[in-house]
Amino acid sequence: MDLSKIITNPDKLFYPADLIFKKDVIAYYYLMADHILPYISNRPFVMNRFPDGIAGKSFYQKEIPAYAPNFLNKVAIWHEKEKKWVNYPYVAHKEALLWLVNQGVIELHCWLSEVPQIENPDILVFDLDPEPPLSFQDCLPVALLLREVLLKLGLEAWPKTSGKEGMHLFVPIEPKYGFKDTTRAAFNLCRLILKAYPEKVTLERVIKKRTGKVYLDYLQNSRGRTMVFPYSLRPLPKAPVSTPLLWEEVTKGEISPAEFNIKTIWERVKKYGDLWSNFHRRRYDIKPLLELM
């Protein structure tokens, strides 16, 4: 791979307050690629682009640019409302990832399904969004209860920080259901959590009704929605990283998401490697969740 053919403007300032340059973002993804690719490979990718850094104008882009190189793959996805096909890029190797990063992509936003089975998600997600002034700490007991119930039903959840204040649990599933099924499965479990923790969580879609609660955003499992994937940088001061966690850390609660960032993450990766390295060893059937009534 010839980086000099892929990278432009390496000295552009991307995180002004932290003196983090475009070349630092490129280097981060170059060095982290082996930990990232197992999770994002072959997933339809939505580009959230910051060509002038996090303080500049940003935009989302689904359609792969006409000028993209052949080594960036694409997949046509039907958009029902617009009645048209949209060609999404998907990453299959490091070179493709770095090309996207050079385009100003800072965050890794991917579908929960993989090519070619794009209509069958292989991840079920539990998206914990603490409504301010709640914070990451308030997600912890909710995440633990989710894990406990999932284990009782025979499913395994993998925790990470979102990089902001929230938390994500990913459950690897067999890609044999549709998005409506996985969304229903997530809803069923979230409804159970609401029953157990009515003071802590909410399923309300109207923001004004969420005050003081953690929003369990089960709709994040719908078709066309994306999630931030493991080891994604976030476009926030200090360049926080969406960081895989030990359940022991979730239990102890002595961590905060801001401590995992582009500068500090390497010490953690050296100590633990990829904490999700066994994520793909087993996939689960969501049937027990569909039967929760």
**What is the C-alpha to C-alpha distance for residues 167 and 159, in angstroms, rounded to an integer?**
7
Closest-by-Cβ residue to Mn ion is 217
**What is the C-alpha to C-alpha distance for residues 255 and 247, in angstroms, rounded to an integer?**
12
CB of 212 to DNA, least distance (A): 15
Q: Among residues 49 and 283, whose Cβ is nearest to DNA?
A: 49
Q: Kindly report the CA angle at 106 between 105 and 109, in degrees rounded to 5?
A: 80
| Stretch of 135-143, 220-228, 249-257, 277-285 contacting DNA, by CB under 7 A | 220-228
**Backbone φ and ψ of 236, nearest 5°:** -130, 160
Residue with tokens 């959590």: 193
Q: Among residues 74 and 283, whose Cβ is nearest to DNA?
A: 74
Cβ atoms of 170 and 279 closer than 8 Å = yes
Map residues 112-141 to x or -, x wherever contact with Mn ion holds by CB under 5 A: ---------------x-x------------
Binding partner selected for residue 12 from DNA, Mn ion, none, CB under the kind-specific 5 to 8 Å limit: DNA
Q: Among residues 5 and 252, whose Cβ is nearest to DNA?
A: 5
**What is the C-alpha to C-alpha distance for residues 11 and 210, in angstroms, rounded to an integer?**
43
Cβ atoms of 170 and 123 closer than 8 Å = yes
Q: Kindly report the CA angle at 240 between 239 and 246, in degrees rounded to 5?
A: 155
CB of 222 to DNA, least distance (A): 5
Map residues 13-42 to x or -, x wherever contact with DNA holds by CB under 7 A: ---------x--------------------
Interface residue with DNA among 222, 236, 237, 283 (CB under 7 A) is 222
Residue with tokens 């979730």: 250
Binding partner selected for residue 8 from Mn ion, DNA, none, CB under the kind-specific 5 to 8 Å limit: DNA
Interface residue with Mn ion among 217, 231, 242, 243 (CB under 5 A) is 217
